[in-house]
Copies of this chain bind each other. A is one copy, B any other.
Amino acid sequence: MNPTLEIFSQGEEIVTGQTVDTNAAWLAQEAIHCGFTVTRHTAVGDKLDDLIHLLSEIAARADCCICTGGLGPTSDDLTAEAVAKAFDKPLTFDAVAFDQIIEFFQSRNRAMPQINRKQALLPQTAIRIDNAWGTAPGFAIKHRRCWFIFLPGVPSEMKAMFIEHVKPDLLARFTLHPPLLISLKSFGLGESAIQELIKEIKIPNKVELGFRAGTDDVQTKLLFPFDYPKTDLNTLVSELNDCLGDYVFAIDGLGEPTGDLAFEIDKFMTANKQSLAVIETASHGLLAAKCVGYDWLIKASYEKNIKVSTQALSTEEQLIHAKDLAMVTQKNTGVNVVLIQLYTGDENALIDKNKSIGLLSVLLVGKAFYQTTHSIVGPISRKQNQAALLSLDLLRRYCQGKTI
């Protein structure tokens, strides 16, 4: 059993939602990679009674707790006072901390405001955690079963102090076994479709299966205990990968760095010195935007739709025209690959926020010609994103030599 760890964030700006609590997510990932099981995050505002109650609750429940915020110099920074009351450890003056605070101001040619003296008051028996990046020292203290660590809420200070001081101390203090995380990143299958596809695979009890559906991929995640046999791990990952087939565009955690669709496409395009031009309709610039930072995208254009003539054409005639346009573009620009979107649904569905279903064909001209057709549904920004991703996924399959 891993030791349990809770994250505790203090501050009105968190509890009122003015600040998104990115500290909690960052600390949770760090703690898991150290080998803790993170059981709970809690955020409360600057109310002394709430803080005291919460500290007592956690002291009875968790093996470790990392708290951020409330260490500043002002009257609404109450963490040290709450710890003193909750754990019955009166605040005492820490001369070394005080010298560090004075030094912080002196090195910036500023006089220390009197209110900052408060930051040198630490609960009795607490171990000071030096802060070379700001004025608030952190501290660590044990109460009941729980080892508490208090850090400032400023992300840059908190992260530097965690990496420099807290993490090495935790690794020495606890018996920890960091787990192995493997993620199969896929596009084109929903979470429930994935569950259907892999339902025959027996996941050993020791392995945790999870899913994460983002806007740009779905990740099927396996968390293995640190001592899981490597060959068994590889076998299980291969089984899952075979079930999901060509929907999987990358496997993270096996050593090779992975990224999003554009990142995986880049591996092929760069290695093979390929270049790309795109003509977008439904994705409205977002296809080009998702390729930012890669120099193989030479040219992109957006038009409401590819116009052939004023006469109405059948879908088939439009597709033939789009293919011709792709081949002409390939020839004129000298690129290796051209992607074209042809929107064959109701044109208003791309503009009108109330019309929600459209039909999109994506055509790719490279060494050969490929074509896919999809329904794109939902609010306009979702249709835009789906159109960009469906186009990138066609290119990704082409690059990786997968079925189209």
Contacts and interface: CB of A to CB of B under 8 A. Distances in A.
Interface of A: 9, 12-22, 24-32, 38-45, 47, 50, 72-74, 76, 107-109, 113, 115-116, 133, 154, 156, 191-193, 195-196, 210-213, 280, 283-295, 297-304, 351, 353, 357, 375, 377-382, 384
B39 A17 contact: no
A38 B211 CA distance: 30
A291 B284 contact: yes
Contacts of A109: 375
Given A40-B50, A109-B375, 13 more contacts: A15-B41, A17-B28, A19-B212, A20-B25, A21-B25, A39-B44, A72-B191, A74-B195, A74-B211, A156-B379, A285-B289, A299-B302, A300-B303
Contacts of A381: 292-293
A17 B27 contact: yes
Cβ-closest 8 pairs across A and B: A285-B288, A17-B28, A285-B289, A17-B29, A17-B25, A285-B285, A300-B302, A41-B43
A294 B380 CA distance: 10
16 contacts: A15-B38, A16-B38, A20-B22, A42-B42, A72-B191, A115-B192, A133-B378, A154-B213, A156-B379, A285-B302, A286-B286, A293-B351, A293-B381, A297-B302, A301-B301, A301-B302
B292 A289 contact: no
Contacts of A384: 289, 292
Contacts of A192: 72-74, 113, 115-116
Contacts of A24: 17, 20-21, 43
Identical chains bound together, number = 2
Contacts of A210: 12-13, 18, 76
Contacts of A191: 72-74
A235 to B, nearest CB: 23
Contacts of A196: 113, 115
Contacts of A50: 39-40
A21 B26 CA distance: 11
Contact of A288 (B27, B32, B291, B302): B302
Given A24-B21, A156-B379, A39 B45 contact: yes
Contacts of A195: 73-74, 113, 115
Contact of A351 (B18, B213, B295, B300): B295
A152 to B, nearest CB: 11
A16 B39 contact: no
A25 B22 CA distance: 11
A26 B357 CA distance: 28
A290 B380 CA distance: 12
Given A39-B50, A42-B40, A212 B28 contact: no
Contacts of A285: 280, 285-292, 300, 302
A304 B298 contact: yes
Contact of A375 (B45, B74, B108, B280): B108
Contact of A21 (B21, B287, B292, B382): B21
A31 B72 CA distance: 27
A301 B20 CA distance: 34
A52 B232 CA distance: 35
Contact of A29 (B16, B25, B115, B302): B16
A336 to B, nearest CB: 16
